[in-house]
Homo-oligomer: A and B are copies of this chain.
Amino acid sequence: MPLVQITMLAGRTADQKRKLVQRITDAMEQEAGARRDAIVVTFNEVSKESYASGGVLMADKNK
C-alpha cells in the first residue's frame, strides 16, 4: 500500500507521467510485493523559482 510522491520541475507531458507511473508501479509491485491496486503515485510540480540545489535556485542556474 505504498505512496510514491514525486517532486519535480514542471514541464513533463502527460505521456511522460503515464510511463513513469507504469514503471514505478511495476517496480513497487514486483520488488516490494505491494498490491497493485493499492499503489498511489502523485506528482508535485514546481517552478524553477521554487527548486534549488547547492544554494542556487534552478531559475538562476543557466545564467
Contact = CB atoms under 8 A, between A and B. Distances in A.
Interface of A: 1-9, 12, 14, 16-28, 31-32, 34, 36-46, 49-60
- Oligomer: number of copies: 6
B59 A25 contact: no
* Chain A interface helix/strand/loop/mixed: mixed
B22 A28 contact: no
B54 A37 contact: yes
A55 B17 contact: no
B50 A3 contact: no
Contacts of A18: 57, 60
Contact of A7 (B2, B22, B26, B56): B2
